Amino acid sequence: MGGHAAGEVASSLAVNSFAETFLESGTACDAGRLWDCLEEANRRIGREISARGSEVQGMGTTLLAVLLRGTEVRWISVGDSPLYLISGGKIKRLNQIHSKAAELAKQVEQGLITESEASQDPERHVLVSALIGEAIYDVDDSPPLEVKAGDFLIAATDGLDTLSQEEVFAVVSSLSEGDAATVAEGLLQAVESREAPKQDNTTVVVVRLPG
């Protein structure tokens, strides 16, 4: 979580804990397995905060985990790291946003505020759910979703949100003849080209379904 203490510590703990728990789990149910991993990652962060005290007080991280088995994909996520599916000439965000931005979007739909007001709200990036070693308020866990050959899955940190969904789609479409690494690099270059002040760190993982 940008602006908070030891965010890099929390994210590293979460990733390593999640991966270790997933590989060691004897749970056959994928949904239960992902939940177990998420909860263990959160507990690991809590233990680190208890052990190190004020040095890491307030640290936390978002988390997005994607499981692909054949042509079925499912995910579990907390926070605002986006997961996109590009399929059939369209782009769709698959996971929910756990930030003030989601609340603002609802207010726009209800006519309470304008899109301009929502986009300029100084708290739009404030998280309403994250892994902080305490209760997790919102989790997005999915049922299996069928994907097909040629589809792209894009998992990223919120630095990718510098680009609109339409811009992400345009970049992917322009590089669709290349491999997944080429697409990922193209997205990173598109973010960097914006030269946005206080640009959030951007990590992108691209999967192209073979076929």
pLDDT in tens, 8-19: 899 999 999 999
pLDDT (tens digit per residue) in 154-197: 999 999 999 999 999 999 999 999 999 999 999 999 999 999 88
pLDDT (tens digit per residue) in 18-34: 999 999 998 899 999 99
Instruction: Report whether pLDDT(96) > 70.
Output: yes
7 assigned to some structural domain: no
172 assigned to some structural domain: yes
87 assigned to some structural domain: yes
Q: How far apart are CA 39 and CA 170, in angstroms?
A: 36
178 assigned to some structural domain: yes
Q: How far apart are CA 101 and CA 104, in angstroms?
A: 5
Q: Report whether 145 contacts 69 (CB < 8 A).
A: no
Instruction: Report whether pLDDT(118) > 90.
Output: no
The predicted structure's pLDDT at residue 121: 87
Which residue range(s) make up the domain with 86?
80-95+148-211
171 assigned to some structural domain: yes
Residues above pLDDT 70, as percent of the chain: 98
Taking phi over 0 as left and psi of -120 to 50 as alpha, with beta for the rest, 6 belongs to left
- The model's confidence at residue 115, banded by pLDDT at 50, 70 and 90, is confident
- The model's confidence at residue 7, banded by pLDDT at 50, 70 and 90, is confident
193 assigned to some structural domain: yes
205 assigned to some structural domain: yes
- Look at residue 71 and give its three-state secondary structure: coil
The predicted structure's pLDDT at residue 150: 93
- The model's confidence at residue 4, banded by pLDDT at 50, 70 and 90, is low
- The model's confidence at residue 2, banded by pLDDT at 50, 70 and 90, is low
187's CB contacts (< 8 A; 6+ apart) are 154, 156, 160, 163, 168, 171, 172, 204, 206
The predicted structure's pLDDT at residue 3: 52
Number of folded domains that form the chain: 1
pLDDT (tens digit per residue) in 187-209: 999 999 999 888 888 999 999 99
pLDDT (tens digit per residue) in 43-89: 999 999 999 988 888 899 999 999 999 999 999 999 999 999 999 99
Q: How far apart are CA 211 and CA 208, in angstroms?
A: 9
2 assigned to some structural domain: no
The predicted structure's pLDDT at residue 20: 97
